[in-house]
Amino acid sequence: MESRTDLNTLMEHVLHTAGEHNLWVPHDTIIVAVSGGPDSVALLHVLHQISNRYIPLRLICAHVHHGLRAESDQEAELVRSLAQQLNLPFEMVRIDVPSYMKESGKGFEEAARDKRYAFLHETAQRHGAASIALAHHADDQAETVLLHLLRGSGLGGLKGMKIKRREKNVELIRPFLRIYKTDIMNICRQNGYAYAIDSSNLSNQYRRNAIRLDVLPFLGQYNGHIRQSLVQLADIAGAEDDYMEQAADHVYHDLVQHKDGGLHFQTPSFLALHVALQRRLIKLILNYLSAGIEIADFHKIELIRQGIVQNKSTTWSLDIGGGLACIREYDMILFMHKPTEQSKSYTYELQTAVPELFIPEIGKRLKVKMQPPHDRYFSNMAGACAEAVFDADELIFPLTLRSRLPGDTMKVMGLNGSKKVKDIFIDAKIPPSIRSRIPVLVDGSGNMIWIPGVRRSIHAAVGTQTTAVLHMCLEETETVEHL
């Protein structure tokens, strides 16, 4: 807005903003946060005028008494009198910021904000309010953008505060966010609105105050419209950030799949994305898995992205923090909660060809049956699927089905000599997350004869002289115990 304005012009501007962003509907209950300063006092007056002349609204005046300054009692009384003058309900709470700082370990500004918003939300819930109106204005927006910029923010921070944002089932609305401080002060002076001056706003010991008192005036020497430029940046960044959020959401639904409580996608589809969408997709996945707890900073996202893009290793695992891990298994990228314990070891001995054996540790069942020889077995001797056939007369009992051990080797059919099971898994591109659920079958002489679904050994191969065939099949049970 231009600095020259009056109450009617300001109300028109607020009504235009409200219509553009759907800030309220007739008869909404709105909690108005009033500190007693010129911004919040003007906001209460303007909303009261709008309610009387344009759209009926139920306004509740809410004040937080911090009790930290000598003027706090006077400010509380000023706001109480204002609510009485406008015939509005008045709600007030006294908060103990120092005690909460000790309890939470937070700094003053963050602790005070937490307690302030907790009261506003509680008041909104009690009154069944649709929204909480806050008096942040364009100068506050400029300070916020610059503060985020100095912290090294991306688009999400450069967009600053939103005019409307949902939090805890209530809308936080900022009807003054496009109005500058000078216009608000003019309204207060022209209409004789009484307000308080917070002396702590003149101290640059708080970072936001330092931005307002020192940094912005310094930058103003090089750009006389620095505040307007920052607010414009917030508008542009906000629109583009919203667009990117939508694009990332579309990509997420197109590429990401659910698996055992985790999320995964294929690397070729990821590499086809623009770098901006790659970062957004990783951030979106981390936000989903962390249940809204902010763990996705730029460096963490970029570390994951570079690991996918560089393709230096076919498998790797990265501890993301927050109990999450990112795992690469060949062409699959998996984000999951880290397991609380390692897979259990197990050993099951088969003295004879039992019809069925259940392995609860991996949620699988081994089915065994004796059959006469048949031509189809000769094409399946490599055991590429999770079934295999053996010459029953050549098998040495007892057979042992067990979990894999370090150093395990097998004489693979079609290969001279022995090969480590670990290398067999790698050659077959078996993802590490699956390997722990693949057992091995060992005969009575200690020879490894079968890795279900992967390879079988040279032992007890079915041939033309075979008179009895032992058929084994390892299958999933209906319910799998996740370890």
From the candidate CATH numbers 2.60.40.1890, 3.20.20.70, 3.30.465.60, 3.90.1150.10, the one assigned to the domain spanning 256-337: 3.30.465.60
The dihedral region occupied by 440, where left means phi > 0, alpha psi between -120 and 50, and beta the remainder, is beta
Q: Report the percent of the chain where pLDDT is more than 70.
A: 90
The residues that bridge with 358 in the sheet, in sequence order, are 365
pLDDT at 203: 66
- Residue pLDDT, tens place only, 73-103: 899 999 999 999 999 999 999 988 888 888 8
- Residue pLDDT, tens place only, 36-45: 999 999 999 9
pLDDT at 449: 93
**E strand or H helix at 109, and its extent?**
helix 108-127
pLDDT at 126: 96
pLDDT at 481: 37
Long-range contacts at 318-321 (CB < 8 A, ≥ 24 apart): 320/286, 320/295, 321/295
38 is in an annotated binding site: yes
| Pairing mode of beta strands 262-266, 315-321 | unpaired
**Choice among 126-135, 321-330, 370-379, 455-464 with the minimum mean pLDDT:** 370-379
Q: Say how many residues make up the chain.
A: 483
Where would I find the beta strands (DSSP E) of 351-451?
356-359, 364-371, 387-391, 399-402, 409-410, 419-420, 440-442, 448-451
Q: Could you give the strand order of the β-sheet that contains 387-391, starting from the edge strand earlier in sequence?
A: 356-359, 364-371, 469-476, 387-391
35 is in an annotated binding site: yes
37 is in an annotated binding site: yes
In the chain, what are the helix, strand and coil shares in percent, each to the nearest 5? 40, 20, 35
Read out DSSP for 193-229? Answer: ------GGGG-TTSHHHHIIIIIHHHHTTT-TTHHHH
The residues that bridge with 419 in the sheet, in sequence order, are 410
Q: Three-state SS for 119?
A: helix
Q: Where are the domains of the chain?
A: 7-227, 256-337, 347-476
Residue 122 or residue 480, greater confidence = 122
Which residues, in sequence order, are CB contacts of 443 under 8 Å at separation 6+? Answer: 395, 396, 397, 399, 400, 449, 459, 460
CATH number of 7-227: 3.40.50.620
Q: Are the C-beta atoms of residues 251 and 281 closer than 8 Å to each other?
A: yes
Q: Residue 4: pLDDT above 60?
A: no
Q: Which of 123, 116, 66, 62 is nearest to 89 (CA)?
A: 62
89 is in an annotated binding site: no
- Rounded Cα–Cα distance for residues 366 and 332 (Å): 28
From the candidate CATH numbers 3.40.720.10, 3.50.40.10, 3.40.630.10, 2.40.100.10, the one assigned to the domain spanning 347-476: 3.50.40.10
Whether this model's pTM surpasses 0.85: no
Both tokens assigned to 332: 């699959």
**Choice among 115-119, 129-133, 156-160, 161-165 with the minimum mean pLDDT:** 156-160
